A and B are shown apart, each in its own frame.
Chain A
Amino acid sequence: MTAATLIPTGRRTVDRQLAAGVTLALLGVMDLALFGLAGHTGTAKFGMSLAGASVHVPDLSLPARGTPIVAGAISIVLGALRIRLDLSPALRRTTMGAAIGLFLVSFLCWAAAGQTLSLVGLLQSTATRSIPIVLGALAGCLCERAGVINIAIEGQLLLGAFVAAVAASATGNLWVGLLTGSLAGGLLAAMLAAFAIAFVVDQVVLGVVLNVFASGLTGYLYDRILVTYQRTLNQPPVFRNWKVPVLGDIPIIGPVFFDSNVFLYLTYGALFLVQAFLFHTRWGLRVRAVGEHPVAAETVGIRVLATRYRNVILGGLVAGLGGAYLTIGSVGAFGKDISSGKGYIALAALIFGRWTPLGAVGAALVFGFADALQNVLSILGTPIPSDVLLMLPYAATILVVAGLVGKVRAPAADGRPYVKS
């Protein structure tokens, strides 16, 4: 009897506890040794407001060596606690989050030693760089909740970016660019839907093919047409920033969340709508039923295939919007493969966020931050080679998907074609 009562705790739980604790402690050792003891002396200054802000928040100065040493010590203690104590899941997440946060602080102190790093600038850039990832992830959410895997987010972003740039250049009207960019994403999604739903093509293969198609098509048109007619077809205007009255003046929060162009506000809207649609309306309930158990949905009179078509195309419109941001919301002109894997990162964000809109946004912000950090670090001139920096968002993706996602559950019928008997 004793064996039975002892064993159920299981070796696996103990191993996990140990592994997590060691990870925390290792992070601490890196803080301490790499960024602290081997770091630079002096202070690291963090800018807390942008130039010309109505309310000025003083800069934050931290000792460049002392901070990582203290942070590292705290992480090591957390790691030890994690090994010794059987913490509740909430506490486990908190300790992991704290250690990662401390690691970031240490890293930033090390990178900004003797210089000033605009923290608000970094966060603002995180928010804007997350836009295409969030919209891509929302597109994926709409599709996959209805049971269609959407690998083609990348292609939808790319086509949206191309069409938005060309349309806005040709007409001189940004709103036309925004609308047509979105429609282009929807068009590619309609192709995905038709092949996946009507012709029951393998959805992963199909998504990859559509991505290659979008990349090839836009690349070809770029080389043959846009390069020649650069001025008329690939020099679109860019949406100007519009600061939200009152909210935009709040210190720190204002510049990060309420001082951007229309795309950030559209992203808020899309996030709110998708979340409300999926979880608070009858339509959303039916969509989720179709993604989980299409036969059950059919037997209560829900039209499975129509629901899937609608959601895939809706998702394409959202992804196309994200694509439009890449050109007319950000840099202006279209460049070859301008989406640079953001669609795949959006897919990772969707999985990391457990197929929920809010979770996906959280994950997208992590990737956006890695992207923004890479940019800031190259400006600061850290000794890290620029190629390694450019890798940062992708490295973050791999780490997050491999290490932190844990056990997540996709919609049960995700990727499974529904064929009526």
Chain B
Amino acid sequence: MHLELRGITKRFGSLVANDHIDLDVEPGQIHALLGENGAGKSTLMNVLYGLYEPDEGQIVIDGKPVSFANPKDAIAAGIGMVHQHFMLVPVFTVAENVTLGIEPVRSLPHLRVAGRLGLLDRRRARREVKELSARYNLDVDPDAVVEHLPVGTQQRVEIIKSLARQAEVLILDEPTAVLTPGETDELFAILKSLQASGRSVVFITHKLREVQAVADQVTVIRQGKVVEHLAPTATDAQLAAAMVGREVRLRVEKGPAAPGEVVLAISGLTVADDLGGTAVNDFSLEVRRGEIVGIAGVQGNGQTELCESLLGLRPALAGTVTIAGDDLTGADTRTVLRAGVGYVPEDRQDDGLVGDFTIAENLALDVYDQAPYSRGPALRLDALRDIAARQIAEFDVRTRSSEVPVRTLSGGNQQKVILARELSRPVNLLVASQPTRGLDIGSIEFVHKRIVAARDGGAGVLIVSSELDEIYALADRIAVMSDGRIIGIRPPTVSREELGLLMSGAHRDAPAEAAS
């Protein structure tokens, strides 16, 4: 199938999300759509999938113009989509999810009415999934309940779902954001085999490495416009410049670490998860002043619980936590913060900011009860505003005023507000979880710079990230976490392959080495 988009324009109020975009996806092509967050990639794909109606422009399939009022039309035309947030019902089985909407029903030879009753034919559904799974080497059990499957497998379920609907063009929206390096390689192999069967793939991403690894053709989108068509042989710098519109440093400049005294010592820490089990198991690690320790690992291996426990947000079942010489095991959050800990939480909207509060109020959330913010029981609003203005300037928060609700800012600017707040106290230790998740390259550059500056200022830094690029860019030592434990500690010169293997839990150091 030959898919063309001609002059697609989509406006939301005064914002032009897509501005006369042309895209040409040839049969059997893996076409990468490269762009920063907010460049309009997802909007474009939602237009193509019938979720949005374009204001102008045409979708052309095999030379014939078509229009999609809803996803059903798009599916019927042979377009399949794997969303960034999977469209799977967690409590359903794989077979139920795959056949939802196109369920095979039982027909009885003597009872014509049976078909109209719509009795599910579970056996046939199971067989269909098995066949597709075998044909494309997807290795999915039709009877497994989706919520029990690892994300990589869930993604394959999404792919099967599209294939079961005879998709000829498969759109994948940021498919690798949730995958381990190993799973990413598997996904690329699957995409190649789909390509071999004559299907085409539109691959949305902002990761340069992936474009180079898998794409046949690259279209770069910036601020709703197509800025360039490139071959995948283009260099990192070329791709990044096209995407951002200026020269960017892909890696912050960072001198060698000068580790000092131990500022964070975790020993034998065990933390419960929400389901009555344990998320962190006998975890030991030391972080020194003037170094950045990066915890690499696939999401959901206890990193969230570890950070929450360090901050006093989640009780420890066993073990000790010492920060700057004080035993803070089980201390409450305020005590931990007063000990000089800065914290950038994983989920900035839910845990980092109060969305409806202004920037100024968010900046003072931790210190509102101290001078100069308060005098007696009264809050000094002028001090709040003045200090906010200073911090906004220092941390380059792009806003017209300190008095707008923080939820109206972009992700990158929200993250800058959090950094401004957390780094404006005297900081002995900075704990940052997924500090650049969902940020564009420009903001990533800024956040990384500030984190390195915190290190050079003498703080110990603990970074948790599922992005290997980030770990490599920042860490002076890399600790790999799997199943709540440290699997191994490596210098930043370690190869990607070895890290990937460690993250998958396949390889494990002797406990003595892991604890050191």
Q: Which residues of A contact B (CB under 8 A)?
A: 1, 3-4, 7-8, 10-13, 280-283, 285-286, 288-289, 292-293, 295-302, 409, 412, 421
Q: Report 29 cross-chain contacts, Cβ distance below 8 Å, ordered by A residue.
A: A1-B511, A3-B270, A3-B282, A3-B318, A8-B277, A10-B272, A10-B277, A10-B317, A13-B276, A282-B103, A286-B100, A289-B100, A292-B89, A292-B91, A293-B89, A296-B86, A297-B101, A299-B49, A299-B71, A299-B81, A300-B87, A300-B102, A300-B165, A301-B101, A302-B100, A302-B101, A409-B91, A412-B91, A421-B52
Chain A residues near B318 (CB, 8 Å)? Answer: 3, 7
Question: Are B270 and A301 interface neighbours, CB within 8 A?
Answer: no
Q: Is B405 an interface residue (CB 8 A)?
A: no
A403 to chain B minimum Cβ distance, whole angstroms, is 18
Given contacts A293-B88, A301-B70, contact A10 B103 (CB under 8 A): no
Chain B residues near A293 (CB, 8 Å)? Answer: 87-90
| Bound Cα distance from A299 to B87, whole angstroms | 8
Question: Are B92 and A421 interface neighbours, CB within 8 A?
Answer: no
Q: Which residues of B contact A (CB under 8 A)?
A: 49, 51-52, 70-72, 75, 81, 83, 86-92, 96, 100-103, 105, 117-120, 161, 165, 268, 270, 272, 276-278, 281-282, 317-319, 511
Which A residue sits closest to B51, measured CB to CB?
A: A421
Chain B residues near A297 (CB, 8 Å)? Answer: 89, 100-101
Q: With contacts A288-B92, A412-B90, A412-B91 known, what are 13 further pairs, Cβ within 8 A?
A: A3-B268, A7-B278, A8-B277, A10-B276, A280-B119, A285-B103, A286-B101, A293-B87, A293-B90, A297-B101, A299-B51, A299-B83, A301-B72
Candidates B72, B91, B92, B118; contact of A283 at CB < 8 Å: B118
Chain B residues near A296 (CB, 8 Å)? Answer: 86-89, 100
Which A residue sits closest to B85, measured CB to CB?
A: A295
| Bound Cα distance from A3 to B161, whole angstroms | 45
Candidates A11, A12, A300, A412; contact of B101 at CB < 8 Å: A300
Given contacts A7-B317, A301-B70, A412-B90, contact A285 B282 (CB under 8 A): no
| Bound Cα distance from A1 to B89, whole angstroms | 39
Which B residue sits closest to A409, measured CB to CB?
A: B91
Given contacts A299-B81, A421-B51, contact A285 B96 (CB under 8 A): yes
Question: Are B71 and A292 interface neighbours, CB within 8 A?
Answer: no
| Bound Cα distance from A295 to B101, whole angstroms | 13
Given contacts A3-B270, A8-B278, A301-B71, contact A295 B87 (CB under 8 A): yes
A10 to chain B minimum Cβ distance, whole angstroms, is 6
Which B residue sits closest to A6, measured CB to CB?
A: B318
Chain A residues near B103 (CB, 8 Å)? Answer: 282, 285
Question: Are B100 and A281 interface neighbours, CB within 8 A?
Answer: no
Chain B residues near A280 (CB, 8 Å)? Answer: 119-120
Chain B residues near A10 (CB, 8 Å)? Answer: 272, 276-278, 317
| Bound Cα distance from A280 to B118, whole angstroms | 8
Chain B residues near A289 (CB, 8 Å)? Answer: 89, 92, 100
Chain B residues near A4 (CB, 8 Å)? Answer: 268, 270, 281-282
| Bound Cα distance from A193 to B81, whole angstroms | 31
Chain B residues near A282 (CB, 8 Å)? Answer: 103, 105, 118, 120
| Bound Cα distance from A301 to B76, whole angstroms | 10
A285 to chain B minimum Cβ distance, whole angstroms, is 6
| Bound Cα distance from A421 to B92, whole angstroms | 25
Chain A residues near B268 (CB, 8 Å)? Answer: 3-4
| Bound Cα distance from A285 to B96, whole angstroms | 8
Chain B residues near A283 (CB, 8 Å)? Answer: 118
Chain A residues near B83 (CB, 8 Å)? Answer: 299
B172 to chain A minimum Cβ distance, whole angstroms, is 14
Chain B residues near A300 (CB, 8 Å)? Answer: 71-72, 75, 87, 100-102, 161, 165
